[in-house]
Structure 1
Amino acid sequence: MNRRRPPRPASAEELLTTLQQLTSRARREVELHQAQVELAEALQREMLPSALPSLPGLQTAARYTPAQSGLDIGGDWYDGFLLPDGALAFAIGDVQGHDVEAAAFMGQVRIAMRALAVTVTAADPGEVVRRTNDLLLTVDSGLLATCTFVRLDPRTRVLQSARAGHVGAVWATVDGQAGVTEDEGGLPLGIQSGEDYPVTTRRLTTGGAFVLLTDGVIEGPSYPIDEGLDAVVRLVRSRAGDSADELADAILRAAERTGHEDDAAVLVLRHESFPGVP
């Protein structure tokens, strides 16, 4: 009868060698992941504007945080630029997915919208979004995107916006009132050609704020969008005296409580006073 010999205990030298091999492998994996993260973050930075336009009396601020999974890169984006007639254009959006393909499509959306905005008469938000949608459908990427496009006239403070399946914005007044916009909108970009995108007109009040965001700011695994929006409304209402930068930072800090794994973007417009306009 053969008896199996008990395994020979590993020597201290063998254990040390095995530990060194495992440590070396783990270090290589960490370095590879870090390189992927740095590459993704560099790509994301190149996709987003380095600065937002601003005028005396108007504060602007934007923030972006990467997804907590995948390649730490996603389809959330924001933009801001000066229009030929002196008005300002702002946009925010969210492309489905968290990979390089989503980031590339996000770049196409942003560039298309910026290019079309300078050719559309008075940069009509509904027309800009409609043409962007029709153009992206010719690319046939199979991806969808939500967005909100805003045109702000600095002389009158009139703010016009159009929405393509995107979450509502948050508004606030200097006296502490705040709420969520319930503007009529159209389908997300990339679904149906010829879609109409109604335009909503409002006025940015003295001392007021207009906050555009993506669902990564307000939604988590067990945190519904409605609750997230309500939380942002309460926060904006309680911080009426904050600058645009302070408000953007506070909103992203609060977003961490949702436990979200999606990437997130915030764009804040805060009015102080425009010269010659009461």
Structure 2
Amino acid sequence: MSEQDARDEGEREGTGPAPQPPQPPPAPDLRIYVDTELERIGTQLRALADAKDRLQGLLDAVLAISGELDLSAVLRRIVTTAMDLVGARYGALGVLHESGEYLKEFITAGLNEEERAALAGIPFPHGRGVLGLLIQDPEPLRVENIPGHPSSAGFPPGHPPMRTLLGVAISVRGEIYGDLYLSERYDSRPFDREDEDVVVALAGAAGIAIENARLFAQERESAERFQRLLLPSLPDLSPFEVATVYRPATQPSRLGGDWYDAMVLPDDTVGVTIGDVGGHDLDAAAAMARIHSMLRALLYDRRTPPSEVLVQLDRALQATADIPVTTVCLARIEPHETGWVLRWSTAGHFPPLLITPDLETEYLDAEPGVPLAVSTGIARPDHTHELPAGSILLLFTDGLVEHHAHSLDEGLTALADLAATHAERPLKEFVRVLADHHPSDGQDDMALLALRIPASTRCPEPGPPGGPAV
């Protein structure tokens, strides 16, 4: 059967002609067709690339705000990442008052120095005008002309001109926490639905990050309060001046084993100690309480050199308790015919730092001895050093100087420089500055005790070194 016969037969049977492949248009039309298709495909590919970039930007933003633990840092990061996602020049986050009726805090970003100076002294917005629309109705808000909006209350003098607005509410545990505001895209176009969608998605992650930061603050506050209950309230050490600081680690729920203590001993000397129990949990805190209490009792009861007190402490602990490795620096400040002398012994701890009245610094390096809970058969040496009147003796734990990215020597050098820079401040302010600007990475708790040495007039008579208790 010929091809024509087959077609005729198909038509007679009602099947119709066989399908024919599409015929390309004439050459000029074909070129236009191909160009149009290529342009369409290119547009689709660019849209897909833009969507991918925006999705990646959103994921990066979520990771960025989730990585913060400090609440103020979280709030600022939310604003700046939202600005980056939609290309906005200005951004702000208003935190609602507990009543939910107005803003109690307003975090801004994008203002340059001149704009900030122009707004100096002007109260921050509390949620009137267009900003208040989100307080009344927490649905996403887009405004193309703020001054022309019926709810606009106008801008204060010196406020930079703003025309467009995108506002999204942030919820935490189902309640509105605050409102995120963005204004003025860099390309001058109004905010669109895609901008709204990505900022709404960010706001959902922001609510989780805010709740995490609040929980972290609560846990840190509880851990710090518990730790402080274990630390002593220091007595009056006149004529010595003393100041202390304890700071918990930046990690949530990390109890520490750092402690300090100071007291006037029965022989009119002053005993000071600082220590660090290994670990960052309830066991470490409990061990610290036991060690500190036992050391305080031994120090007060025995007029022996510090090394012998540490030997007795180590023996008693290993016989009565299972404790982790612990470092201690124990010292007696004793009167001397020319002033005061420091007699100390360490169990694997950092040496004291001495800052003289002429702001010279010296670490009192000496044989450190082994930490507690290592061996009771190793002798512990004592060391002595004269203390000039007006100098500062600083005892501290490793949380003040250790940093994962720097050597320990760098941390110790930085601490000595910092101490020399601020040694002329009042002693309480001095220790706060050291704690606020410490060279460590903040991953460990820190304790520090500073003692200012008085003049040597009318010193009590020294007792016999190493004599019996009285």
TM bin, normalised by shorter chain, reads 0.7 to 0.9
The answer as to 2:318 corresponding to 1:143 is no
Distance 1:252 1:175 in 2: 22
Residue 225 of structure 2 is matched in structure 1 by 42
Could you say what the CA RMSD is over the residues aligned between the two structures, in angstroms? 2.5
Residue 5 of structure 1 is matched in structure 2 by none
Q: How many angstroms does 1:213 deviate by?
A: 0.7
- TM-score in terms of structure 1 length: 0.83
The answer as to 2:271 corresponding to 1:89 is yes
Label 1:52 to 1:228 Cα distance change in 2 as closer, same or farther (>3 A): farther
Whether the 8 Å CA contact 1:207–1:272 is kept in 2: the answer is yes
Distance 2:172 2:390 in 1: 61
Match of 1:134 among 312, 315, 319: 315
Distance 2:343 2:225 in 1: 33
Distance 1:69 1:248 in 2: 22
Aligned-partner residue type, residue 141 of structure 1: D
Residue 159 of structure 1 is matched in structure 2 by 342
Q: How many angstroms does 1:85 deviate by?
A: 1.1
- Any idea what the Cα deviations from partners look like across 1:217-249, whole Å, max 9, x if unmatched? 001121222111111211222334223222211
Distance 2:393 2:352 in 1: 7
Q: How many angstroms does 1:190 deviate by?
A: 0.7
- TM-score in terms of structure 2 length: 0.51
Distance 1:35 1:247 in 2: 28
Unaligned runs of 5+ in 1: 1-18
Match of 2:420 among 224, 230, 237: 237
The answer as to 2:448 corresponding to 1:266 is yes
Q: How many angstroms does 1:140 deviate by?
A: 4.2
Whether the 8 Å CA contact 1:53–1:80 is kept in 2: the answer is no
Distance 1:200 1:30 in 2: 46
Q: How many angstroms does 1:158 deviate by?
A: 1.5
Distance 1:78 1:117 in 2: 13
Match of 1:109 among 291, 305, 308: 291
Residue 249 of structure 1 is matched in structure 2 by 432
SS at match of 1:182: coil
Residue 354 of structure 2 is matched in structure 1 by 171
Match of 1:228 among 398, 403, 411: 411
* Higher normalized contact order (CA 8 Å, seq sep 6+, divided by chain length): 1
Distance 2:270 2:453 in 1: 13
Q: Percent identity?
A: 31
SS at match of 1:221: coil
Q: How many angstroms does 1:71 deviate by?
A: 1.5
Whether the 8 Å CA contact 2:369–2:381 is kept in 1: the answer is yes
SS at match of 2:458: coil
The answer as to 2:305 corresponding to 1:124 is yes
Residue 261 of structure 2 is matched in structure 1 by 79
The answer as to 2:392 corresponding to 1:209 is yes
The answer as to 2:377 corresponding to 1:194 is yes
Distance 2:370 2:394 in 1: 21
Match of 1:61 among 243, 252, 261: 243
Label 1:43 to 1:21 Cα distance change in 2 as closer, same or farther (>3 A): closer
Residue 14 of structure 1 is matched in structure 2 by none
Aligned-partner residue type, residue 216 of structure 1: G
Per mean C-alpha deviation after superposition, the further-off stretch among 35-44 and 21-30 is: 21-30
Q: How many angstroms does 1:28 deviate by?
A: 8.2
Whether the 8 Å CA contact 1:41–1:72 is kept in 2: the answer is no
Distance 1:158 1:180 in 2: 15
Residue correspondences, number: 258
SS at match of 1:157: strand
SS at match of 1:109: helix
Whether the 8 Å CA contact 1:243–1:270 is kept in 2: the answer is no
- Any idea what the Cα deviations from partners look like across 1:65-113, whole Å, max 9, x if unmatched? 0011141420011011121111111000111111111011011111111
SS at match of 2:225: helix
Distance 1:263 1:39 in 2: 14
Distance 1:73 1:87 in 2: 32
Aligned-partner residue type, residue 252 of structure 1: A
Whether the 8 Å CA contact 2:216–2:252 is kept in 1: the answer is no
Distance 1:265 1:21 in 2: 35
Q: How many angstroms does 1:154 deviate by?
A: 4.4
Distance 1:242 1:33 in 2: 33
Match of 1:219 among 372, 395, 402: 402
Aligned-partner residue type, residue 150 of structure 1: A
